[in-house]
Structure 1
Amino acid sequence: MNELYEDYYKEKDLVFNTEYQRSEVWNLKKKQKLIDSIIKEYNLGMIFLRRNEENYFEVLDGQQRLKSIFKFLENEYPTSGEWTPEVGKKTFEELKDVSGVYAKFIAFKINVAFVENADDETTSDIFLRLQEGMPLNTAEKLNAMRGEMHKTILDLSKHQFIKNTSIKDHRFAHRLLAAQIFSLELNSDFDLMNFPDIKFANLQDIYEKYTFKEPPRYVLNNIKRNFNFLNKSFGDKAKVISRRGDFIPIYLLSSYLGKKYVTSGINEDFVNFTIEFLAKVESIKVQDKLIAPENIPYRDFKSWRSAGALSSRSFRERFKIILGKFLENYSDIRLKDTNRSFDYGQKMAIYYKDNGLCKICGKEVSFDEAEIDHVIPWSEGGTTTVNNGQLVCPTCNRSKGNRS
């Protein structure tokens, strides 16, 4: 062990390559258990090192174990009186005073296997096979896959907007967000409100499909355009976004508005809406049965955020809510396609605005049954905006005809 530390790590011939390895995730208790195992001379298993083209050794498997050992050798934490009562709470330097333990610790043998002449693809494959049965999360599994998709996601994850949020990049969280966004942009049908599941298997399929060929350029351009809009709008205020379950609906709202609406000049409105919306969501308790009607959408959003958060239905329901509330608040925003029909988001906003009641007869109408009518008829110059829309039941809409 001393040779590995002195001759390789301290001489910087041993490196931790986080491009396919996970970041540091062991807590103090787990590190102390490892040190106790060494003192008790337990087998720590095999460490796998890969010699790269620069003649350095990269840790292919065993990063957590080696980092824990090296940090103990550098006196960054002590042993545990709970796990190693015969030693007590001592740093490595203080271990010298414990008869026999220090020498035994230094002489401890670590089994090392060297991987030679392996390219990145082979290395990633070896890493994934070594981790079978190990608790790697989705982001770490995806990060170990190489190819064009990996490069694209790495680039997107470095965008300033993601960095400005309060979402910590722990265990490649930013790369996972970028991969999920890419999947949603690639496979969603905004007109039909159809969104894909973004669980590991679905994301893995995309990574494998675009291993040797570049992912669709239009998807990448869409995402960068939306990230640029969000970064310009929020700036440092992006720190209000602290949950991954909020990040994606906010992104989808930006993407949808950019595709469907005239968005020039709405940056400040978008930020103000987001801050207010997230505050209302957090103020609601999902378990409260007595809740004001106007707060039901926020409760439903919070409920869907915690239940099946990666499913297509969860995305659809959360997106419908945030889109409807935005268009309800900013009811004058105009569609790019100035046609007669109200779009899905406008229908949702008007449904919220009119509390699910027909504006002519006062009858309660379900969302699926509800129809949206121009207050000032289209034929008389009425605009297709939330302000000029009203909720009506099918019967009243037929009888109203073209009258204001």
Structure 2
Amino acid sequence: MKCRQMTIGELRDTYKNGQINLAPPYQRKPVWKTKQRLLLLSSLFNGIPIPALIFHKQFHTGTLKEIYDVLDGKQRIETILHFIELKKIRDEGRLWVEFINPHTNKRDYLFYHQLDNKKVNKEYENILEKFWTYKLPIIEYEGDLSDFFGNNVASKEVFVRVNSTGSPLKKHEIRHAKCAGLFFKLGDMLEEKYMNLFVNQWRVCSSTDTKRYLLHEFILELCVAIHLNIYSDRRKKLDELLSQYKWTGREIVFVRKGFNKIIRCVKDIFPNDSIKYTRFKNKSDFYSLFVVLLQLLNKGYVLDSRKDNRIIGKFLSEFSKQIQRLDPKVKKFVIPNLPESEQKLLPYIISTRQATDSLRNRETRHKYLMSVLKEGFILKTKDNTRIFDSSVKDLLWLLQKQNKPRCPNPTCNEKCKKYLTYDDAQVDHKYPWSKGGRTTLENARLICSSCNSSKGNRQLV
């Protein structure tokens, strides 16, 4: 390990040469606010010392260059690069520096492109040249650090220790630094795919949550529920599955498909992003609804009937309004006198007050939502048998009254074969099996192979 200095001009050139890696696997997302970035720039332009940047130097065989992984100082470097217009920070506008004009004694706010103007720079006594020559303290090491006993300390462990003394790391930021693998990458993929939905459309999470990996953590919690097919106690199972469990590619695909399917179901229940007007935009309520829908799907209940889902959505919206009206009446240690219909809602309300992610409170919400959705709406289950018996085709063929029966072409398929032949005809459900259609003779019909392959799960007409 060695200590040295690097001017801001040298930092700029090193970055432009592709030698500074701001995003090693253990790094976190930007968390600084504009106020913190402006304060840093003020310090740099006023010659005030700032903390050292910590680099881990490695030789990259692909580019034949020395690469500097940033262990500490990412936000300081990004602020400088954003200010000089080399790197754009997401959701951050142009940064400025506040000066007192040496000639007019008035306060000025200048952007980089203004300082880069020769006339302005000269007016401010060549301030930009002084900025480029500002010396940044650097701590640099190669390979692994060693402790006093000669044991190696990995770079990701250095990152966790160093950053625990600055802007405090959230628990999931530490997980991000220490954990890598298929499951964590699945969280990355789903977060990227659904960030706009969860943050801007449904408002289940905030933009701040995304910066501190809290959306990523929440998505992985939902993935844990899919893997286990049940709710879990806080994030204990998440930690276990990240640190100890060896995931297979097949398990990752199973979880990913399950997640996508439930999200489609929620969209159907709450069309036009109407979930944001209900209490189910709260993480605790959303989690419970997600797990209930998961278990109903796994038990064979039909959840892709748009008509039925709209009814469920209206009920959940009314339920949400009722809870919101009742919530203020329920005070700590004081249970008001309420009608019997409202008394039944008390356990649910109490379970959303404190420790909402505890096993007991998740169980309370789960039982209530499961009972009203499963028993209250009498959701249909899918037939255990999906494939028709071979004798059904013979029966249907015998029941045809024409010698040359026409294909009903239920979906107006342009490639329909028009007429049925025994060899080509296929048996399919009139009402789709996926929507609760029975695998019985009454729900069976002959169509040509082309129409059967194009039909999907649409109801035959």
State the TM bucket, normalised to the shorter chain: 0.5 to 0.7
Q: What count of residue pairs does the alignment treat as equivalent?
A: 325
Match of 1:92 among 92, 103, 112: 112
Question: Is 1:27 aligned to residue 33 of structure 2?
Answer: yes
Q: Who is 2:78 aligned against? A: 67
Task: Between 232-241 and 42-51, report the one with greater CA deviation.
Answer: 232-241
Q: Look up the equivalent residue of 1:178 and give its one-letter code.
A: I
Q: Who is 2:138 aligned against? A: 112
User: 1:238 and 1:181, CA in 2 relative to 1: closer, same or farther beyond 3 A?
Assistant: farther
Query: Matched residue of 1:262: which SS?
Result: coil
Task: Between 222-231 and 272-281, report the one with greater CA deviation.
Answer: 272-281
Match of 1:78 among 93, 96, 102: 96
**Structure 1, unpaired ranges of 5+:** 338-404
8 Å CA contact 2:9, 2:133 repeated in 1? no
Q: Look up the equivalent residue of 1:198 and give its one-letter code.
A: R
What do the CA deviations read for 1:294-329 (whole angstroms, capped 9, x no partner)?
566667545533521222222222222322232244
User: 1:232 and 1:310, CA in 2 relative to 1: closer, same or farther beyond 3 A?
Assistant: closer
Q: Distance in 2 between matches of 1:324 and 1:28?
A: 48
8 Å CA contact 1:157, 1:177 repeated in 2? no
8 Å CA contact 2:24, 2:70 repeated in 1? no
Fraction of identical pairs, as percent? 16
Query: Matched residue of 1:68: which SS?
Result: helix
8 Å CA contact 2:182, 2:249 repeated in 1? no
Note the 1:4-403 alignment, pairs <5 A: 4-17=10-23, 19-51=25-57, 53=60, 54=63, 55=65, 56-74=67-85, 76-79=94-97, 88-94=108-114, 96=121, 97-99=123-125, 101-117=127-143, 122-134=154-166, 135-148=168-181, 150-151=183-184, 153-154=186-187, 157-158=190-191, 160=193, 164-165=197-198, 166=202, 167=205, 168=207, 169-185=210-226, 195-199=231-235, 203-210=238-245, 213-214=246-247, 220=252, 223-234=255-266, 237=271, 239=273, 240=275, 242-263=281-302, 265-266=304-305, 269-270=308-309, 273-274=312-313, 276-278=315-317, 280-281=319-320, 284-285=324-325, 286-289=327-330, 294=341, 301=348, 304-334=351-381
Q: Look up the equivalent residue of 1:41 and give its one-letter code.
A: G
Q: Distance in 1 between matches of 2:311 and 2:154?
A: 48
Query: Matched residue of 2:135: which SS?
Result: coil
What do the CA deviations read for 1:220-239 (whole angstroms, capped 9, x no partner)?
46533432322443458484
- Structure 1 position 142, deviation (Å): 1.4
User: 1:163 and 1:32, CA in 2 relative to 1: closer, same or farther beyond 3 A?
Assistant: closer
User: 1:184 and 1:79, CA in 2 relative to 1: closer, same or farther beyond 3 A?
Assistant: same
User: 1:93 and 1:132, CA in 2 relative to 1: closer, same or farther beyond 3 A?
Assistant: same
8 Å CA contact 2:30, 2:75 repeated in 1? yes
Q: Distance in 1 between matches of 2:109 and 2:343?
A: 53
- Structure 1 position 217, deviation (Å): 5.6
8 Å CA contact 1:73, 1:92 repeated in 2? yes
**Structure 2, unpaired ranges of 5+:** 1-6, 86-92, 116-120, 146-152, 331-335, 385-461
Q: Distance in 2 between matches of 1:330 and 1:221?
A: 31
Q: CA RMSD in A?
A: 4.0
What do the CA deviations read for 1:241-286 (whole angstroms, capped 9, x no partner)?
6443333212201222123343364465346524652564267152
Q: Who is 2:392 aligned against? A: none
Q: Distance in 1 between matches of 2:294 and 2:82?
A: 45
Q: Distance in 2 between matches of 1:92 and 1:159?
A: 32
Query: Matched residue of 1:144: which SS?
Result: helix
8 Å CA contact 2:186, 2:256 repeated in 1? no
Q: Normalising by the residue count of structure 1, what TM-score does the alignment of the two structures yield?
A: 0.65
8 Å CA contact 1:60, 1:127 repeated in 2? yes
8 Å CA contact 1:309, 1:315 repeated in 2? yes
Q: Look up the equivalent residue of 1:58 and give its one-letter code.
A: D
Query: Matched residue of 1:308: which SS?
Result: coil
Query: Matched residue of 1:104: which SS?
Result: helix
Q: Distance in 2 between matches of 1:139 and 1:238?
A: 31
Q: Who is 2:417 aligned against? A: none
- Structure 1 position 123, deviation (Å): 3.1
Task: Between 25-34 and 3-12, report the one with greater CA deviation.
Answer: 3-12
Q: Distance in 2 between matches of 1:336 and 1:138?
A: 44
Query: Matched residue of 2:368: which SS?
Result: helix
Q: Normalising by the residue count of structure 2, what TM-score does the alignment of the two structures yield?
A: 0.58
